């Protein structure tokens, strides 16, 4: 049988979670062994050379205990682990799909290098390495500089639910799969980039807006986004307060400014964050906010697909 492991490059910590955590019949989340970490470090050094020196090493930090004749791994506040993996049986196709919905978790789980093993112990010494996304080393460097983020059991259960929905639910539309693919691709775009702004807006429009009809003006999309998001934001899984990003500004005015910024970027117009746009602060601030909105909309589309589908046509 073929199987393997995929490293999680996000600088996350799992608390109040009994590991290993079963994601599906073929995939589990667990801490990486010292041997696995050693092979990853060797791979990163051989692949990225000088860039690898910017990645800070972290210790394993795990404690294995026995409960009811079952071995479990626990982690305390003082024993944090940098390296976590998704261990899987079969090909890595399901891991590729899992990587897309793993971005919906708080905090996001970015997947990196994948090692494929065969059944032979001899071949296990030199596994086939499948590279992660082209931005793997950038993600790893960025995440290594961040503080640990906690991913609790509730978020892992959501991850399991999202993956199960995409894999097993026949009603899971191709549209949602397309949106997840687009969101996954967007995650590799620089946070300061206007291209990311356009990509995130395209997802928002794809989820909740319809093309202007013959009786509607092109401004219809702006109108749809402002009104529909005001309604949907009340049903978000994680509450999002726009004033934490932009200060004292009402919902309607904010989305008018955001969509105006999107239009300027799309049409090659000069834009800035002074004058009437001072509240937006920067592309980074704007993109972080839009990313949170997109993530909540995708989650809502999975949890309440009929609501989103019906609202899109309104």
Look at residue 76 in the predicted model and tell me its pLDDT.
Answer: 42
CA separation for the pair 275, 259 (Å, rounded): 16
pTM reported for the whole predicted model? 0.86
Residue (of 101, 75, 87) closest to 156 by Cα position: 101
Same domain, 93 and 180: no
Same domain, 50 and 97: yes
If DSSP codes are grouped into helix, strand and coil, which group holds residue 46?
Answer: helix
pLDDT above 80: residue 220: no
pLDDT above 50: residue 193: yes
CA separation for the pair 257, 254 (Å, rounded): 5
Number of domains the chain contains: 2
Strands 128-130 and 111-117: antiparallel
Q: What's the pLDDT tens digit per position in 2-20?
A: 889 999 999 898 877 889 9
- Is residue 247, in this structure, part of any structural domain at all? yes
- Is residue 42, in this structure, part of any structural domain at all? yes
Look at residue 145 in the predicted model and tell me its pLDDT.
Answer: 73
Same domain, 203 and 62: no
Look at residue 133 in the predicted model and tell me its pLDDT.
Answer: 55
Same domain, 117 and 32: yes
- Is residue 166, in this structure, part of any structural domain at all? no
Percent of the chain at pLDDT > 90 equals 47
Q: What's the pLDDT tens digit per position in 17-51?
A: 889 999 999 999 999 988 888 888 888 888 777 76
- Is residue 202, in this structure, part of any structural domain at all? yes
Same domain, 144 and 187: no
Same domain, 142 and 186: no
Domain carrying residue 204: 174-312
Same domain, 10 and 54: yes
Same domain, 63 and 129: yes
- Is residue 84, in this structure, part of any structural domain at all? yes
- Is residue 158, in this structure, part of any structural domain at all? no
- Is residue 165, in this structure, part of any structural domain at all? no
CA separation for the pair 52, 62 (Å, rounded): 24
Neighbouring C-beta atoms of residue 125, cutoff 10 Å: 9
């Amino acid at each position: 049988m073929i199987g393997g492991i995929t490293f999680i490059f996000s600088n996350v910590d799992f608390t109040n979670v009994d590991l290993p955590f079963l994601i599906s019949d073929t995939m589990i989340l667990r801490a990486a062994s010292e041997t696995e970490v050693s092979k990853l470090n060797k791979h990163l050094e051989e692949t990225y050379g000088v860039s690898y020196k910017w990645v800070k090493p972290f210790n394993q930090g795990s404690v294995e205990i026995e409960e009811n004749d079952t071995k479990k791994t626990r982690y305390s506040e003082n024993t944090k682990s940098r390296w976590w993996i998704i261990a899987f049986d079969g090909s890595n196709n399901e891991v590729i799909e899992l990587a897309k919905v793993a971005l919906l978790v708080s905090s996001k789980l970015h997947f990196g290098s994948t090692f494929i093993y065969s059944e032979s112990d001899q071949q296990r010494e030199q596994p086939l390495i499948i590279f992660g996304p082209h931005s793997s080393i950038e993600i790893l460097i960025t995440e290594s500089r961040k503080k640990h983020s906690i991913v609790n059991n509730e978020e892992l259960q959501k991850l399991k639910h999202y993956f199960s929905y995409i894999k097993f639910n026949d009603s899971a539309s191709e549209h949602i799969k397309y949106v997840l693919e687009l969101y996954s691709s967007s995650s590799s775009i620089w946070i300061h980039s206007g291209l990311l702004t356009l990509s995130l807006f395209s997802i928002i429009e794809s989820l909740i807006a319809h093309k202007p009809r013959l009786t509607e003006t092109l401004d219809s999309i702006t109108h749809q986004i402002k009104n529909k998001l005001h309604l949907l934001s009340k049903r978000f899984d994680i509450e999002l307060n726009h004033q934490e990003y932009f200060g004292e500004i009402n919902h309607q005015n904010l989305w008018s400014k955001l969509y105006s910024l999107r239009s300027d970027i799309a049409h090659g117009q000069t834009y800035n964050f002074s004058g009437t746009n001072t509240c937006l602060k920067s592309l980074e601030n704007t993109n972080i906010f839009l990313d949170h909105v997109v993530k909540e909309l995708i989650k809502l589309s999975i949890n309440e697909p009929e609501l989103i589908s019906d609202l899109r046509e309104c």
